[in-house]
Amino acid sequence: LFAGETTFLKGVVAMAGLPPADRLEVCFAGRSNVGKSSLINALTGHKALARASNTPGRTQEINYFNLGQESHYLVDLPGYGFAKAPVAVVEKWQRLLKSYLSGRPTLRRAFVLIDARHGIKEVDDEILTLLDTSAVPFQVVLTKSDKVKAGELQKVLDQVRGKLQRHPAAFPELVVTSSEKGGGIPTLRSIIANLE
Ligand code: GDP
């Protein structure tokens, strides 16, 4: 699945722009700067597939990628929680996100990225609740694990596990990753490859 080349398909700004729902898809969500572009690049073995943007929250598109032999879509959702985005932009994006999450039958799993140093913040919890109400199964992926010591990581894992108990759509297993060091990337690949 990850041996073939991953290619950019399109950026979507409205439901009408979604490609046909003819294959499985997974999506990635996370606060701006959580390390989402880096993770997608590490996962697909590309250096700059998902733009590692210096202007967090600038891209308000749902970016579609063809994974491997065009068997799956990988969907990169815009980073959230960027305080400087105008209210109208945020509201438009929230409407699109809601429509996407509740109206995409082939969406098998959402991966929600959480910084291993910070744990789940309020803005993350809002997305998790939206995933619950949209009945989209989701799994938390901790990012930048190379930046925390083992003891610190354990505290964050406990915080995240505690919060997830209140989210019925959550998978209990967490994936701890480092795009920098490669930790957790094979695990994440096999999770995606085994989705049915
Ligand atoms: P995005 O806004 O969520 O797409 O975040 P980026 O992928 O652009 O990453 C934000 C910043 O975090 C960049 O400076 C990255 O180099 C850094 N970063 C991302 N992943 C890791 C990681 O696994 N380890 C470390 N140490 N830094 C990372």
Distance 35 CA to ligand 1 centre (A): 4
Q: Which of 38, 39, 54, 74 to mutate to test the pocket of ligand 1 (most atoms within 8 A of CB)?
A: 38
Write down the pLDDT at residue 51: 62
Distance 144 CA to ligand 1 centre (A): 7
Q: Which amino acid is at 127?
A: I
Q: 192: pLDDT confidence band, cut at 50, 70 and 90?
A: very high
Q: ipTM score of the complex?
A: 0.99
Question: Which of 67-76, 104-113, 139-148 has the least mean pLDDT?
Answer: 67-76
Residue range 152-175: mean pLDDT, rounded? 98
**Does the pLDDT value for residue 84 go beyond 80?**
no
Ligand 1 atom closest to the CA of 34, numbered from 1 = 3
Which band of pLDDT confidence, cut at 50, 70 and 90, is reported for residue 50? low
What is the 3-state secondary structure of the chain? CCCCCCEEEEEECCHHHCCCCCCEEEEEEEECCCCHHHHHHHHHCCCCCCCCCCCCCCCCCEEEEEECCCCEEEEECCCECCCCCCHHHHHHHHHHHHHHHHCCCCEEEEEEEEECCCCCCHHHHHHHHHHHHCCCCEEEEEECHHHCCHHHHHHHHHHHHHHHCCCCCECCCCEECCCCCCCCHHHHHHHHHCCC
Say which range, 8-12, 56-60, 69-73, 114-118, has the weakest mean pLDDT. 56-60
Higher pLDDT, 41 or 90: 41
Q: What are the pLDDT digits (tens) for 91-107? A: 888 899 999 999 999 99
> Domains of the chain, with CATH numbers?
7-193 (3.40.50.300)
Taking the complete model, does pTM exceed 0.80, yes or no? Answer: yes
Q: Is the pLDDT of residue 54 over 70?
A: no
